Structure 1
Amino acid sequence: MSRNNPDLSSTTVNFEQAELLLSKDIVIVDDTVENLRVLSNMLSDEGYKVRKATGGIMALKVVASLAPDLILLDIMMPDLSGFEVCQQLKNNPTTASIPVIFLSALDDTSSKVKGFQLGAVDYISKPFQIDEVLVRVRNQLTLRAAQQKISQLNAQLEAQVQERTKQLMGANSRLLEMAHYDSLTGLANRNMFMELLEEALHRSKIDSAFKFAVLFLDCDRFKVINDSLGHLLGDQLLQEMSHPLRGVVRHNDTLARLGGDEFAIILADIPDLNASIHVAERILESLKQPFYLNDYDIHMTVSIGIVLSSSHYEKPEQLLRDADIAMYRAKKSGRGQYQVFSSEMHQDAHKLLELETDLHRAIAQEEFTVHYQPIINLNTGKIAGFEALVRWLHPKRGLIPPGAFLPVAEETGLICSIGSWVMRQACHQIYQWQQQQSEPLRIYINLAAQQLIKTNLIDEIDQILAETQLKPESIKLEITESSMIQNLASTRRLLKQLCDRGIDLSIDDFGTGYSSLGQLQSFPVQTLKIDRSFIQRLDGTTQSLGLIPIILSIAKVTNMDVVAEGIETQQQLDQLRQLETNFGQGFFFSKPIDADSATQLMAQNPQW
Structure 2
Amino acid sequence: MSLYDLYGQIDPKNELWIKAKYDHIVETKQENYCLVTLMLKNFNSISHELGSEESERVIHQSFEILSDLLGHDEYIARIHSHYFNLLIKSEPTEESLHPRAHQFHFAIRDIIEEKTGKKLYLEMGFYPMIKEGVDFYSARYYADLCRNMSHHQKYAESSYELYYLSYVDQKEEYAKFQDLVQDALENENFKLYLQPKVELSTGKVTGAEALVRWIDPQRGMLPLAEFLPSLEENGSIRDVDRYLFDKACSYIERWHKNYNQDFVISFNLSEAYYNGPYFMPEYKETYKKYQFPEELIRIELLESIVLNDLEKLKPLVDEIYDFGFSCALDDFGSGFSSFDILINVKLSELKIDRSLFQDYHNEKERLVIKGIVDVAHNLGMKVVAEGIEIKEYVDYLTEIGCDYIQGFYFYKPMPIDEFEKIFVLK
| TM-score above 0.5, yes or no | yes
8 A Cα contact 2:255 2:424, kept in partner? no
Once the two structures are TM-superposed, the CA of residue 551 in structure 1 deviates from its matched residue by 1.2
2:305 to 483, 486, 505: 483
Once the two structures are TM-superposed, the CA of residue 352 in structure 1 deviates from its matched residue by 6.2
Equivalent position of 2:370 in the other structure: 549
Larger radius of gyration: 1
Q: Are the structure 2 counterparts of residues 203 and 445 from structure 1 closer, same or farther at C-alpha, using a change threshold of 3 Å?
A: closer
Q: Normalising by structure 1, what TM-score?
A: 0.41
For residues 9-49 of structure 1, give each alpha carbon's deviation from its aligned partner in whole angstroms, at most 9, with x where no partner exists.
xxxxxxxxxxxxxxxxxxxxxxxxxxxxxxxxxxxxxxxxx
Once the two structures are TM-superposed, the CA of residue 440 in structure 1 deviates from its matched residue by 3.1
Q: Are the structure 2 counterparts of residues 541 and 488 from structure 1 closer, same or farther at C-alpha, using a change threshold of 3 Å?
A: closer
Once the two structures are TM-superposed, the CA of residue 438 in structure 1 deviates from its matched residue by 4.1
Is 1:524 matched with 2:346?
A: yes
Equivalent position of 1:539 in the other structure: 360
Tell me the amino acid that sits aligned with residue 341 of structure 2: Q
Q: Are the structure 2 counterparts of residues 396 and 602 from structure 1 closer, same or farther at C-alpha, using a change threshold of 3 Å?
A: same
1:380 to 202, 210, 233: 202
Once the two structures are TM-superposed, the CA of residue 208 in structure 1 deviates from its matched residue by 4.6
For residues 166-188 of structure 1, give each alpha carbon's deviation from its aligned partner in whole angstroms, at most 9, with x where no partner exists.
xxxxxxxxxxxxxxxxxxxxxxx
Tell me the amino acid that sits aligned with residue 465 of structure 1: Y
Higher RCO (C-alpha 8 Å, min separation 6): 2
Q: Distance in 1 between matches of 2:391 and 2:182?
A: 42
> Secondary structure at 2:153's aligned position in 1?
coil
Answer 1 or 2: which has greater helix percent.
1
- Identity %, equivalent residues: 30
The correspondence of residues 29-40 of structure 1 with structure 2, limited to 5 A, is none
Tell me the amino acid that sits aligned with residue 599 of structure 1: E
Q: Distance in 1 between matches of 2:421 and 2:181?
A: 31
Q: Are the structure 2 counterparts of residues 390 and 551 from structure 1 closer, same or farther at C-alpha, using a change threshold of 3 Å?
A: same
> Secondary structure at 1:563's aligned position in 2?
strand
Q: Are the structure 2 counterparts of residues 540 and 352 from structure 1 closer, same or farther at C-alpha, using a change threshold of 3 Å?
A: farther
Q: Distance in 1 between matches of 2:105 and 2:316?
A: 50
Tell me the amino acid that sits aligned with residue 235 of structure 2: G
Once the two structures are TM-superposed, the CA of residue 514 in structure 1 deviates from its matched residue by 4.3
Tell me the amino acid that sits aligned with residue 246 of structure 2: R
Q: Are the structure 2 counterparts of residues 401 and 371 from structure 1 closer, same or farther at C-alpha, using a change threshold of 3 Å?
A: farther
Equivalent position of 1:396 in the other structure: 218
Equivalent position of 1:582 in the other structure: 403
Equivalent position of 2:315 in the other structure: 493
8 A Cα contact 2:259 2:424, kept in partner? no
1:598 to 416, 419, 422: 419
The correspondence of residues 158-557 of structure 1 with structure 2, limited to 5 A, is 207-208=106-107, 314=153, 353=174, 355-514=177-336, 516-535=338-357, 537-539=358-360, 542-545=363-366, 547-557=368-378
Give the RMSD, CA atoms, in angstroms: 3.5
> Secondary structure at 1:597's aligned position in 2?
helix
Q: Normalising by structure 2, what TM-score?
A: 0.58
Q: Distance in 2 between matches of 1:450 and 1:528?
A: 22
For residues 254-295 of structure 1, give each alpha carbon's deviation from its aligned partner in whole angstroms, at most 9, with x where no partner exists.
xxxxxxxxxxxxxxxxxxxxxxxxxxxxxxxxxxxxxxxxxx
Q: Are the structure 2 counterparts of residues 454 and 366 from structure 1 closer, same or farther at C-alpha, using a change threshold of 3 Å?
A: farther
8 A Cα contact 1:427 1:443, kept in partner? no
Report how many aligned residue pairs link the two structures: 278
> Secondary structure at 1:505's aligned position in 2?
strand
For residues 361-389 of structure 1, give each alpha carbon's deviation from its aligned partner in whole angstroms, at most 9, with x where no partner exists.
32344320101111111110001111110
Gaps of at least 5 residues in structure 2 are: 1-100, 110-149, 156-162
8 A Cα contact 1:356 1:408, kept in partner? no
Q: Are the structure 2 counterparts of residues 417 and 603 from structure 1 closer, same or farther at C-alpha, using a change threshold of 3 Å?
A: closer
Gaps of at least 5 residues in structure 1 are: 1-201, 211-310, 317-342
Tell me the amino acid that sits aligned with residue 580 of structure 1: G
Once the two structures are TM-superposed, the CA of residue 477 in structure 1 deviates from its matched residue by 0.6
Q: Are the structure 2 counterparts of residues 204 and 424 from structure 1 closer, same or farther at C-alpha, using a change threshold of 3 Å?
A: same
8 A Cα contact 1:446 1:479, kept in partner? yes
Q: Are the structure 2 counterparts of residues 209 and 530 from structure 1 closer, same or farther at C-alpha, using a change threshold of 3 Å?
A: closer
For residues 330-371 of structure 1, give each alpha carbon's deviation from its aligned partner in whole angstroms, at most 9, with x where no partner exists.
xxxxxxxxxxxxx99xx9778965545423432344320101
Q: Are the structure 2 counterparts of residues 203 and 482 from structure 1 closer, same or farther at C-alpha, using a change threshold of 3 Å?
A: closer
